[in-house]
Amino acid sequence: MIYIIVDLEATCWEGKALAPNEIIEIGAVCVDDSNRILGEFDVMVRPSICPILSEFCTQLTSITQADVENAPHFPKALQQFQDWIAQFEDSYWLCSWGFYDKKQFKQDCILHGLDTDWLKNHMSIKHQHPKISDGITARPLGMQGALKLEGFKLDGTHHRGIDDARNMTKIFRKYYGKWQF
């Protein structure tokens, strides 16, 4: 069994959304059943419905139009991600900070007519963290708040998929063996 700690970034707008959100970055870290990091994955994704990123999106994520301009569209990026997972093992759990990432993956798969069965094994680190964190917090927190309470430094750029996946991995590995799947 392997654990894929994943974080997505998606198109977004300040105020009312102009279109459905689409994934623009998939960042992930693979942890094995011995709590070792096996590898990392990061790919930018070119949105299809609204291909021009909003200024708000770029400010929030630091992802620029140039970053996504020549990136693969979602079907190809997803295939790259799934191929990356398969190189380690067929049995995996997707782990993210909350349920947004699973929902966004599902939405993009439906948009492009792709299978969603690969999403069935998913766990929210955010929602289990209060139950297993030895009383550090009684309620789910944002990732930055949880890192701070755990005594971890936020490395990289918040709202970048690969950096957030790396930061989540710190918490995942600290409580390895306590997560419920």
What is the pLDDT at residue 90? 85
What is the pLDDT at residue 97? 98
What is the pLDDT at residue 17? 84
How far is the CA of 9 from the CAs of 1, 46, 161, 165, 180, in angstroms?
26, 12, 6, 11, 25
How far is the CA of 155 from the CAs of 26, 108, 125, 143, in angstroms?
17, 28, 18, 12
What is the pLDDT at residue 151? 96
What is the pLDDT at residue 107? 98
What is the pLDDT at residue 137? 87
What is the pLDDT at residue 153? 97
> What's the predicted TM-score (pTM) here?
0.97
What is the pLDDT at residue 85? 98
Average pLDDT of adjacent 10-residue blocks, the chain of 181 residues: 98 91 98 98 97 97 98 98 95 98 98 98 98 90 96 97 98 97 95
Q: What is the CATH number of domain 2-174?
A: 3.30.420.10
Tens-digit pLDDT profile for residues 65-100? 999 999 999 999 999 999 999 999 889 999 999 999
